[in-house]
Each structure stands twice: as structure tokens, then as C-alpha cells.
Amino acid sequence: MLTAVFERARSQRRLAFIPYLMAGDPDLATTSQLIGALSAQGADLIELGVPYSDPLADGPTIAAAAQRALGNRVGLSDVLALAKQCSGNSAPIVLFTYYNPVYQFGVQRFAAALADAGVAGAIVPDLALEESAELRAALAEQGREMPLLVAPSTPPERARRIAEAAGGFVYVVSRLGVTGAGKTPDFAPLRAQITALRERTSKPLAVGFGVSRTEDVRSVADADGVIVGSALIDRYAGLSGTQAVERVVDLAAALIAATRR
């Protein structure tokens, strides 16, 4: 399901472009408009963040976006409803959520709800390989996929096992640390990581965390996809509706142009 996204991008000689949005920031209606606009612009896959009170893998931009969304009382059920409503757009959706909201919702029920909403899968950054088996199995049963993350600190043999278990694609974390657009990653070790992963897996590799400029996208041209979150959110923070959409579409167009090889 997710692999097809990367195949299509590859056949068009470009990286898949995967924007990240926090559902409910600034409000659900704007998120819905943003999803529509980004799809129309050519986004290949949309990562939709589920607001969480304690996002350990996120830096200030996404943590603040989550706080704003929580201020609007947006929770997992709202995000699922939003995803369902947007499922007619061309770009498929994966949820980006921490584990506790999923655990409270119920792992089986969550997998079924993803299928019902037409969501392709879920990324759960605080479920490392060892803790991920139950959710992976539940998602697989519903034909949903769970990409897993590989970090710069992941040893090679472990990276191989993660890639083997990952559903759809391998999420290659570009740097040590959390999400955020502030500091440009050092792309040399990242490219070495991509080369090493290529020898261990045939699954697509999507790079995320800290990718924010067109130069960054060009720097990881040997990957199969790029995930851009904080840079988009910084761009529309404080705006809503059409104003937010205009700002994001501009940046997305530039980033998409940079994905061509």
C-alpha cells in the first residue's frame, strides 16, 4: 500500500514528498484544507499528527502545535474522523501518534478504526522494535502498515532487523535528537546510513527530522522520500484557513520542485 507511493515517485524520477501536519492546529477545518491543498500540490503521502501531551520525539515547533490542538480538545477520535473525511484526496494518510493514546483507545480497535477511515498506516515513534509486535500484527490484520524508525545511533545489525519488520517504508531519522527545523542536519553521516541501509533492505527509505529547506531535500536525493514537518508548521503558525493554506502551498511547491532528480 505504502510502497506504491514510492514506486510512483521513483518512476517519475523524484523523491516522494511527505508533509507532516498536526491535526487540529490551528483547527480541524484548516487541517482539512491543508490536506486538500497539499494533495493537489502533489504531496505523495500525508503524515497526520495526533496531538499528545508529552511528545518525547518532538522539538518545540511540533510540541507547541500539539498543545494548541489539545487546547481545541482534539483527540484521536477527531483525527480519525478527519482522516476519513479527507480519504477522497489523492494522497494517502498515515497517522503519526505516540503510543499512549493508541493504548487507551485499544490496539485492535485502533487498527480497525484506521481501516475504516481509509488510513494507510501508523507511525509510533515511542514504540521501538521490541515493543512494536502487537500493534504491527493488529495493523497487518487490517491491511495497514507500520513504518519503523532507524536513528543515527542504531547499530547496523539492529537497523537490518528494524528494516525487516518495518511496514511500507523505513523512516530514517536524519540526526540525533528531536524534530525541528532549527538546526540543519549533518548530511554526510546520513548519506552513509542510507548507503548502508540499501545493502540491508529493499524497502523504501524516507528521511525525516530537520529536513526543512530545498537544499536539505537535494542533500538527501539518494533516499526515496523526504518528510517535512516543523518547517511547514512554522510557516503557518498563527494563521488559519486560506491564509495558512497560501503560506504552506508556497513552501510545499518549492520543496516538491527540489525532489526532482
**Residues of the shown chain interacting with other proteins in the complex, contacts defined by CB under 8 A:** 52-60, 63-64, 67, 70, 75-77, 99-105, 125-131, 148-155, 158, 162, 173, 175-178
CB of 245 to other proteins, least distance (A): 27
Nearer to other proteins, 16 or 102 (CB): 102
Alpha carbon distance 191, 197 (integer Å) = 10
CB of 101 to other proteins, least distance (A): 4
CB of 76 to other proteins, least distance (A): 6
Q: What is the dihedral of CA 76, 79, 81, 83, to 10 degrees?
A: -140
How many C-beta atoms surround the C-beta of residue 160 within 10 A?
17
Mode of pairing for the β-strands spanning 205-208 and 170-173: parallel
Nearer to other proteins, 119 or 124 (CB): 124
Q: Which residues are catalytic?
A: 47, 58
How many C-beta atoms surround the C-beta of residue 84 within 10 A?
16
CB of 260 to other proteins, least distance (A): 30
Q: What ranges make up the beta strands (E) of the chain?
A: 16-22, 46-49, 93-96, 121-123, 148-150, 170-173, 205-208, 225-228
Nearer to other proteins, 42 or 60 (CB): 60
State the sign of the Cα–Cα–Cα–Cα dihedral 35, 37, 38, 43: positive
249: exposed, middle or buried (Cβ count in 10 Å: 0-12, 13-18, 19+): middle
Nearer to other proteins, 39 or 61 (CB): 61
